[in-house]
A and B are shown apart, each in its own frame.
Chain A
Amino acid sequence: SQKIEQNSEALNIQEGKTATLTCNYTNYSPAYLQWYRQDPGRGPVFLLLIRENEKEKRKERLKVTFDTTLKQSLFHITASQPADSATYLCARENSGNTPLVFGKGTRLSVIA
C-alpha cells in the first residue's frame, strides 16, 4: 500500500538549533509533498509545498528538501524558537485531484 511515514513521534531541541524532521514514502512516487503545522485544538496551517522536480524550497527560517532517490523529504527549521513548538505534519498528494493524506506527525518541542 502507499504509505507516508514520519518515524519520529516527538523531537526535543534546544532553542537556536536547527530542527530537522523526516518524512518517508513507500510504494509510490508523489507528485509533491506538503508540510503543515498544527497547534493543539486547531486546524493544520499550510507551510510549504515541494514538487518532485524541485530539490529544495525555502520560506523564511523554513527549508524543505525532496529526495526522490531516498524517497524522503526533510523539513528544517533554523534558529528554532519556543514558539516553533507544535506538531508538524507531512502530507502526500499525487498529481490530479486526489486529496491529501497525512503522516502521523512529529511533535516538536523547542526548549529555551
Chain B
Amino acid sequence: DTEVTQTPKHLVMGMTNKKSLKCEQHMGHRAMYWYKQKAKKPPELMFVYSYEKLSINESVPSRFSPECPNSSLLNLHLHALQPEDSALYLCASSQVTDYGYTFGSGTRLTVV
C-alpha cells in the first residue's frame, strides 16, 4: 500500500460544530504532517508528528487539535472554526529524513 488516505473528502461545518479529519497510511512512515492550502497558494505546514509525538506546531490556533493514536493514523479535531479556516487540508507522510512526502488527496473544508 503506497497511499495516504484522507476522510472525508468534503466537509461542510458550522462555526459551532465539532468535527474530525482522518488520515491513514500503511507504508511504515514514521513522520506525518498536516498542511493547510488556500486557493492558488502553496501548502502551509500546520503540525508534524515524528514517531507518534508532536514535534512541530506552527503556531496553529487551538481550535485545531491534532492527535496521533498510532503510527498509521493521524487525526485533526476541529472546533469553533471560522469561515476563514475554509481550505483544503492535506495530510502527508514520509520516512523521517531525506525522502519525498506522500500526500493524501485532501479534505475540502467549508466553514459556514
B41–A44 CB distance below 8 A: no
Q: B33 to chain A: which residues have CB within 8 Å?
A: 99-100
Q: B41 to chain A: which residues have CB within 8 Å?
A: 104
A44–B103 CB distance below 8 A: yes
Q: Which of B12-20, B64-72, B73-81, B94-102 binds A?
A: B94-102
Residue of A36, A41, A89 touching B88 (CB-CB under 8 A) = A41
Decide if A11 is an interface residue (CB 8 Å cutoff).
no
Interface residues of B (CB under 8 A from A): 4, 31, 33, 41-43, 45, 48, 50, 55-56, 88, 90, 92, 96-106, 108
Decide if A79 is an interface residue (CB 8 Å cutoff).
no
The residue of chain A having its C-beta at the shortest distance from the C-beta of B58 within the complex is: A99
Given contacts A42-B106, A46-B100, contact A99 B42 (CB under 8 A): no
The residue of chain A having its C-beta at the shortest distance from the C-beta of B51 within the complex is: A97
Q: How many A-B residue pairs have CB under 8 A?
A: 57
The residue of chain B having its C-beta at the shortest distance from the C-beta of A49 within the complex is: B100
| Assembly CA distance A41 to B106 (angstroms) | 8
A42–B105 CB distance below 8 A: yes
Would you give the shortest CB distance from A58 to chain B, in whole angstroms? 16
| Assembly CA distance A105 to B85 (angstroms) | 22
Would you give the shortest CB distance from B25 to chain A, in whole angstroms? 12
Can you name 23 A-B residue pairings with CB atoms under 8 Å? A34-B101, A41-B88, A42-B105, A43-B103, A43-B104, A43-B106, A44-B43, A44-B101, A45-B103, A49-B98, A49-B100, A51-B98, A89-B42, A89-B43, A95-B97, A97-B31, A97-B50, A97-B96, A97-B97, A99-B31, A99-B45, A100-B45, A103-B42
Would you give the shortest CB distance from B50 to chain A, in whole angstroms? 6
